[in-house]
């Protein structure tokens, strides 16, 4: 799921921690499922490509 995370809109840089983190507000159960591969893909994934809408308009 790492490649998927790097392209996600919720994958943001945290200046305090000085690293990229997932900025989704999820409960402990979902976090456990995601980290232990209970999901095949992240249910919170949202494409972070801000030009996606523009390409569809052309």
Angstrom distance (rounded) from CA 54 to CA 25: 28
Overall number of domains in the chain:
1
Rounded to 5 degrees, φ, ψ at 13 are: -85, 125
Tell me the pTM: 0.65
pLDDT digits (tens, 9 = 90+) for 4-56: 788 888 899 999 999 999 899 989 988 888 888 767 778 888 887 666 655 55
The parent domain of residue 10 ranges over: 2-57
């Amino acid at each position: 799921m790492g490649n998927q995370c790097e392209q996600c809109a919720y994958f943001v840089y945290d200046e305090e921690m000085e690293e990229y983190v997932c900025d989704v507000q999820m409960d402990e159960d979902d976090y456990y499922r995601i980290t232990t591969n209970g999901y095949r893909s992240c249910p919170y994934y949202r494409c972070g490509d801000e030009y996606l809408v523009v390409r569809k308009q052309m």
